[in-house]
Amino acid sequence: MFSFLRNKREFFTIEEKQNIAEAIRKAEQRTSGEVRVFVESRCRYVNAIDRAVEIFGNLHMYKTELRNAVLVYVAVKDKQLAVFGDEGIHQKVGNEYWANEVIKNDNGIQS
């Protein structure tokens, strides 16, 4: 009756969340950067990269000392993925790196 009052559906099991957190910890041990994953149901009215930029700003991820934070954005129902890196890391790796990472890690999710 009141669908807006329903609990939000969890996209990942507890074990999957632990695996994601562990993967982030391992990645952050190899770099000075910060990695975050943001998952939501839909990416409405904008494309995935624009939404990732919006979330990146809302989370103040641009405040890392070396400007090397990375946001992995997933819109599950829309099957969209975006990886957005701040200017410090982007200057080191460039556009081709990001495109290759999304393609390499694409498991049925289109970017």
Query: What is the per-residue pLDDT for 105?
Result: 57
pTM: 0.77
Domains and CATH numbers, the chain: 33-111 (3.10.310.50)
Residues linked to residue 55 through DSSP beta bridges, in sequence order: none
DSSP per-residue letters across the chain: --GGGSPPPPSS-HHHHHHHHHHHHHHHHTSS--EEEEEES---SS-HHHHHHHHHHHTTGGGSTTS--EEEEEETTTTEEEEEE-HHHHHHHHHHHHHHHHHHT-SS-B-
How confident is the model over 65-108, as pLDDT tens digits? 899 999 999 998 888 989 899 999 888 888 888 777 766 655 54
Degrees (nearest 5) of the Cα angle 12, 81, 65?
Answer: 90
Query: What is the per-residue pLDDT for 1?
Result: 39
* Cα 49 to Cα 98: distance, rounded to the nearest angstrom: 12
* Cα 23 to Cα 16: distance, rounded to the nearest angstrom: 11
Query: What is the per-residue pLDDT for 45?
Result: 81
Query: What is the per-residue pLDDT for 89?
Result: 86
Degrees (nearest 5) of the Cα angle 21, 72, 81?
Answer: 125
How confident is the model over 36-48, as pLDDT tens digits? 999 998 987 889 9
Residue range 54-69: average pLDDT? 93
Query: What is the per-residue pLDDT for 54?
Result: 94
